[in-house]
């Protein structure tokens, strides 16, 4: 089963081109100042010009207010909003209604007690990103290079499409797909040579491994 790939946290034109050339179907851009992958709205607008038609452009925000979302939607050509903070189901619905774009909601998983959140959001989000729950001491809600017990979402089916994230690398993504049955996978730190610095060879290797997963 070939998995659809999302490469997140892109900051440079050459990596945008590399990700699209490797077959990624989603490209993510981070609007969160604490992240080493953070970019300005103006820089994002320029980067998105290099994204080929047919590749979805995703704006990742963390508990963003309407003012920031207004700027992102109004000044760039993003196709989807990714909410990666503690946004409630009500907030997800509000964002969808206000901006008219598909919304992906990230959900952090550490143990069985966290899986129930998925049902809460599956009815309001257009897609779900099932990620590893960040440690309490972490500055970032995602992109920390940690994974969770994939058996918690093994062969699960929810009312909307979902992506598997959290600690994925070119070396383990095929195993993750086989174990969970995920049809979509998301990677950020797993294709970096240093925090926030994407590596073109790792991007290509990750996409190849995900596409070959069976």
Closest CA to 18 of 201, 209, 208, 213: 201
C-alpha 51/C-alpha 188 separation (Å) is 17
Q: What kind and span of H or E run contains 150?
A: none
Run means of pLDDT, 10 residues per run, the chain, 214 residues: 92 97 98 96 95 97 97 98 96 97 94 86 94 64 64 76 94 92 94 96 98 85
Give the pLDDT score at 163: 95
For the annotated catalytic residues, the residue numbers are 8, 131
Give the pLDDT score at 147: 75
C-alpha 169/C-alpha 132 separation (Å) is 14
∠ CA 183-187-191, rounded to 5°? 135
pTM score of the predicted model: 0.91
C-alpha 39/C-alpha 35 separation (Å) is 9
Give the pLDDT score at 14: 96
């Amino acid at each position: 089963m070939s998995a659809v790939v999302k490469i997140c946290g892109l900051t440079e034109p050459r990596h945008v081109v590399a990700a699209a050339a490797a077959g990624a179907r989603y490209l993510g851009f981070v609007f969160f100042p604490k992240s080493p992958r953070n970019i300005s709205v103006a820089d994002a607008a320029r980067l998105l010009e290099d994204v080929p038609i047919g590749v979805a452009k995703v704006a990742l925000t963390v508990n963003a207010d309407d003012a920031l979302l207004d700027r992102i939607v109004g000044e760039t050509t993003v196709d989807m909003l990714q909410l990666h903070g503690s946004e409630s189901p009500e907030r997800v619905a509000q964002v969808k209604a206000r901006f008219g774009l598909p919304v992906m909601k990230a959900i952090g998983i550490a143990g069985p007690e966290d899986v129930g959140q998925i049902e809460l959001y599956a009815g309001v989000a257009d897609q779900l990103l099932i990620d590893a729950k960040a440690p309490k001491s972490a500055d970032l809600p995602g992109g920390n290079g940690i994974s969770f017990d994939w058996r918690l979402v093994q062969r699960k089916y929810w009312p909307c499409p979902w992506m598997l994230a959290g600690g994925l690398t070119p070396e383990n993504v095929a195993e993750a797909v086989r174990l969970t049955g995920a049809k979509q996978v998301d990677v950020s730190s797993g294709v970096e040579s240093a925090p926030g610095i994407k590596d073109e060879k790792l991007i290509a290797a990750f996409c190849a491994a995900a596409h070959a997963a069976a």
